[in-house]
Amino acid sequence: MTETGATTTREIRNLEAELTRHFGDSAYTAALSAHHPMGRRIHGVDLTKPLNTQQAKVLVGLLDHHSVISFPKQGGQSFQLNTLERLANHFGAPVPHPKNYANYIEYKKTRAPLKLLPRAKQTATLCNAAFAGDIQCVEGADSPAVYVVTNLPGSGPDQEEQLASGLHWHTDIEFEPVPLSTSMFFVQLVPTTRNSPNSTWVSDKRPDAGFYHPDSNPVLNQRRFDLPLNGETAYADTARAFADLPAVRQRELEQTQVRRRLRVADPGWLIPLVYVNPRTGRKSLHSPIWASRGKNIAPVSIDGLSEQQSREFLDEIESHVLQPKYRYDHVHEAGDITIWSNFSTLHNAPPAKSVINKPEDARLMYRISCKGEPSYDLPRSDTDEWLYANIVPPYKSV
């Protein structure tokens, strides 16, 4: 391990050897892309089976060093999402998604007893109604920890097709004192049509004016808007981007504290801009974004700088991170499980068909996100006090 945390060839070889040792001779890794070094595809590993201690340690190590890891051929319609939730528990404590609850806002305000959405309003039910008989969600999509990423609700054979622009670059839930560490997808369906004028799934649809700050640098905006058009997830490698900075700049950023908060009126808290992985020492820029979700999340500030100075400071870093050499657009395939680190990546959802009228345009994936330290053995040993303080709403996998 180098001072900046860059992964060495010897470390990669050691991980490869451990993968084969604990999963068998058919297990190996390959590059996710011939054009970008980010991430690895892990072959010969069946994640539908429970992991033993050493297997879990190997997979956590692979994510620590590669930031994005993807496992092909993990199942089809017979896949059960309790398998994904069991896997997530090795990387951190799963966090339930607010959209799965009928009264989440009331709970936040008054701590009223939580109620899940009635089955008729659950995302899985709405997905199943779109093309009845053709598309059905896999079992377990109603778990509070599962967020269904899809364009099926509101879609159907008689609907008019609608397009949506891409989102802001961000990491998931970086605005809490204990931020999300890891997120993962199980992919059931990906769009297969390529009917746009440029032979992609969709044409390039840009957000409305005001999506980004009006004083944003044109070069930065061009990098922000350079998104894939076939339903991929766009990633940026903040570990490699940090490692490539001059040593003087690295030291400056390592001393930089960022005040994060959910709302503008919140006092927030200070957290280092540079994350140091406690298991490897690998360093990365943790969500170096001034406004990661536009008006939905309060902009962050750099300790000691004004709002404008903070934006300019972070815009410069964002522009560096979003250079093409640090970018990787992940092509999802049905049956994949893809896991990414929120500490060493940024990601973005691309332009998409948000309402569809044919099954071939369906995008159906299931996301679980988690926080806290990895656990090589299950069940996890998180205390009730820690769960209540950091998992909102409190949740523990059964």
Q: Which residues contact 128 (CB under 8 A, 6 or more apart)?
A: 135, 136, 137
d(CA 156, CA 317): 42
Across 138-158, average pLDDT: 97
Q: Which residues contact 209 (CB under 8 A, 6 or more apart)?
A: none
Across 24-53, average pLDDT: 95
Which tokens go with 368? 């679980």
- Identify the band that residue 6 occupies on the pLDDT scale cut at 50, 70 and 90: low
The pLDDT score that the predictor gives to residue 11 is: 83
The pLDDT score that the predictor gives to residue 295 is: 85
pLDDT single digits (tens) 320-369:
999 999 999 999 999 999 999 999 999 999 999 999 999 999 999 999 99
> To 10 degrees, what angle do helices 81-91 and 53-66 make?
70
Given a cut of 90, whether residue 24 has pLDDT beyond it is yes
Across 73-90, average pLDDT: 94
Across 131-154, average pLDDT: 97
Mean pLDDT score across all residues of the chain: 95
For residues 384 and 173, the answer to whether their CB atoms sit within 8 Å is no
For residues 376 and 57, the answer to whether their CB atoms sit within 8 Å is yes
- Identify the band that residue 7 occupies on the pLDDT scale cut at 50, 70 and 90: low
Torsion of CA 310, 328, 241, 28, to 10 degrees: 140
Output phi, psi for 179, to 5 deg: -75, 170
The pLDDT score that the predictor gives to residue 12 is: 82
Report the amino acid identity of residue 100. N
Place of tokens 């305000």: 109
pLDDT single digits (tens) 281-292:
999 999 999 999
Percentage of the chain lying above the pLDDT 70 cut: 98
Given a cut of 60, whether residue 98 has pLDDT beyond it is yes
Given a cut of 60, whether residue 261 has pLDDT beyond it is yes
The pLDDT score that the predictor gives to residue 294 is: 87
d(CA 317, CA 297): 19
Q: Lay out the sheet containing 327-330: strands in order across.
A: 327-330, 233-237, 345-348
DSSP characters over 99-157 = GGBSSHHHHHHH-PPP-BPPGGGSHHHHHHHHTTTT--PPBTTT-TT-EEEES-TT--T
Given a cut of 60, whether residue 187 has pLDDT beyond it is yes
Given a cut of 50, whether residue 396 has pLDDT beyond it is yes
d(CA 206, CA 203): 10
d(CA 226, CA 203): 12
**Exposed/middle/buried for 396, CB within 10 Å: 0-12, 13-18, 19+?**
middle
Please count the other Cβ atoms lying within 10 Å of the Cβ belonging to residue 130.
23
- Identify the band that residue 4 occupies on the pLDDT scale cut at 50, 70 and 90: very low
The pLDDT score that the predictor gives to residue 3 is: 36
Whole-number Cα distances in Å, 137 to 80, 115, 145, 263: 10, 22, 15, 35
Give buried/exposed letters for 209-244 (b at 16+ CB in 10 A, else e): eebbbeebbeebbebbbebbbbbbbbbbbbbbbbbb
CB-facing half-sphere around the CA of 221: CA atoms within 13 A: 13
Say whether 170 sits in a helix, a strand or coil: strand
Given a cut of 60, whether residue 1 has pLDDT beyond it is no
Task: Work out the end-to-end distance of the chain between its first and last CA atoms, rounded to an integer number of angstroms.
Answer: 37
Domains observed in the chain? 9-232+336-390 (3.60.130)
Kindly state the DSSP code that residue 169 receives in the 8-state scheme.
-
- Identify the band that residue 296 occupies on the pLDDT scale cut at 50, 70 and 90: confident
Given a cut of 90, whether residue 5 has pLDDT beyond it is no
Given a cut of 90, whether residue 57 has pLDDT beyond it is yes
Judged by average pLDDT, the poorest of 39-48, 104-113, 256-265, 297-306 is 104-113
Across 145-154, average pLDDT: 98
Strand boundaries in 137-281, DSSP class E: 147-150, 162-164, 180-189, 233-237, 257-260, 269-272, 274-276
